[in-house]
């Protein structure tokens, strides 16, 4: 009993940590530009796929990972510069469609380069799985959790201690005021997209040994990240992490105790329930409409 429960919990927390990282990427871009980036999942795909193909070409894994993450960062910048920035007057829905167009484009490129097959990536380390009360914790899960924790701490430090981080925050709060005090908001927005892409691609790399990877893995993972972000409350960093972990655990429990066919249905029902009681998610900011 306990071992079963723990097993589901480990699975849930691992995948939840991934969702949390994707949700943080959403949050970052949402805060900086109020865009919901439907191409967020593609950053994961770029991270995972590039690493796999580079290691396949004989590049050592650490270097492959660095190159993959950098490539995703470049895509993040390009996305902001060439797809989002030129459409600044556009409607919310129009921006959604633009990012969907971008994700189809990126996925198309990936398919062109890497084909449609699933790719397997080895675990980062060959350590034996850890057993706790009969439940197995895969070494890669520890990598996911560890990297996730490090990234969250790094993000917190980035936003509270660095000038660039503070500039992003300032721009998200009031673009005009930020510009007035000399912040180059266009540059800041590009940075936000880049950091978000870096986050996403790192998540994509660490989770790839668990989920496998393919050109279209970003669709569902990206959506789950969006669900997690909305559960937590769009724009809230804490919310993104809590939402991600919650979503992962609930999914794993449903798959374990109820039916794996309906695990996604439960995830999507959860968002409806949360939004029903808290229309701005768990940690979303309350805003007063000004008239």
Partner 1 sequence: MLNRFMQSRLRGLMVLAVILFSLPVFLSNPFHYELATQMAIIAGTVVGLNLLVGFAGQISLGHAGFFGLGAYFTGIMTGHYGWSAIPALVVGAILVGLIAWIVGRPILRLKGHYLSMATLAVGFIIAIIINNERQLTGGPDGMPVPVFDVFGWELSPFGTYSLFGIELNGSEAWYLFAAAVLLVAVWLAQNLIDSPIGRALRSVHGSEVAARVVGVNTARYKSLVFVISAVYASVMGGLYAHFQGFITPAVASFDFSIVLITMVVLGGMGSTMGVILGAVVLKLLPQILTHFQEMEAVMFGLILMLTMIFMPKGLLPTLQMAVSKRLKRRAGGQQ
Partner 2 sequence: MNALIEVRGLDKAFGGVHAVEGVSFSVQAGQVYSVIGPNGAGKTTLFNLISGLYTPTSGEIRLNGESTARLEPNQLAERGLCRTFQQMQICMNMTAIENVMLGRHLKLKSNLFSTLFRLPSLLRDEQACRQRAKELMEFVGCGEYLDTDASAMSYGALKRLEIARALAAEPTLILLDEPAAGLNATETAALEVLIRKIAVQGTTVMLVEHDMKLVMGISDHLLVLNYGRVLADGTPAEIRQNPDVIAAYLGG
Chain residues in the site for partner 2 (CB under 8 A) = 288-291
How many CA atoms does the CB half-sphere of 221 hold within 13 Å?
A: 36
Nearer to partner 2 by Cβ, of 126 and 290: the residue is 290
CA distance 11 to 248: 8
CA distance to 17, 186, 191, 241, 279, per residue, from 149 (Å): 9, 30, 22, 10, 28
Nearer to partner 1 by Cβ, of 99 and 171: the residue is 99
- Minimum Å distance from CB 231 to partner 1? 9
In this structure, are residues 19 and 150 in contact, taking their beta carbons and an 8 Å threshold?
Answer: no
- Minimum Å distance from CB 291 to partner 2? 6
Number of residues that bind partner 1 (CB under 8 A): 46
| Long-range Cβ contacts of 64-68 (<8 Å, 24+ apart) | 65/205, 68/201, 68/205
Nearer to partner 2 by Cβ, of 117 and 289: the residue is 289
Residues 75-104 that bind partner 1 (CB under 8 A): 83, 86-87, 89-94, 96-98, 100-104
Partner from partner 2, partner 1, none binding residue 288, C-beta < 5-8 Å depending on class: partner 2
Nearer to partner 2 by Cβ, of 161 and 290: the residue is 290
- Residues in touch with partner 1 (CB under 8 A): 30, 36, 83, 86-87, 89-94, 96-98, 100-109, 111-112, 223, 226-227, 230, 234, 261-262, 264-265, 268-269, 271-272, 275-276, 279-281, 289, 291
């Amino acid at each position: 009993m306990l071992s079963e429960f723990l097993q589901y919990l480990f699975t849930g927390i691992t995948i939840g940590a991934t969702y949390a990282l994707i949700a943080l990427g959403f949050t970052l871009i949402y805060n900086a530009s109020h865009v919901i980036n439907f191409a967020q999942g593609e950053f994961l795909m770029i991270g995972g796929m590039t690493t796999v193909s580079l290691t396949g070409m004989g590049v050592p894994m650490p270097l492959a990972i660095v190159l993959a993450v950098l490539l995703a960062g470049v895509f993040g910048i390009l996305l902001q510069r060439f797809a989002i920035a030129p459409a600044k007057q556009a409607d919310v829905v129009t921006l959604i469609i633009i990012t969907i167009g971008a994700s189809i484009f990126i996925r198309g490129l990936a398919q062109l380069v890497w084909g449609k097959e699933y790719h397997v990536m080895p675990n980062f380390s060959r350590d034996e799985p850890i057993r706790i009360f009969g439940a197995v914790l895969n070494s890669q899960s520890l990598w996911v959790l560890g990297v996730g924790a490090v990234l969250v701490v790094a993000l917190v430090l980035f936003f509270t201690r660095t000038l660039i981080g503070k500039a992003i925050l300032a721009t998200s709060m009031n673009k005009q005021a930020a510009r007035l005090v000399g912040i180059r908001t266009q540059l800041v927005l590009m940075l936000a997209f880049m950091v978000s892409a870096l986050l996403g691609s790192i998540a994509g790399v660490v989770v790839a040994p668990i989920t496998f990877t393919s050109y279209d893995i970003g669709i569902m993972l990206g959506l789950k990240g969006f669900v997690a972000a909305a559960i937590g409350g769009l724009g809230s960093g804490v919310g993104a992490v809590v939402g991600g972990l919650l979503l992962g655990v609930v999914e794993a429990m449903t798959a374990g105790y109820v039916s794996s066919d309906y695990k996604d249905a439960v995830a999507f029902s959860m968002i409806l329930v949360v939004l029903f009681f808290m229309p701005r998610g768990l940690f979303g900011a309350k805003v007063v409409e000004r008239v």
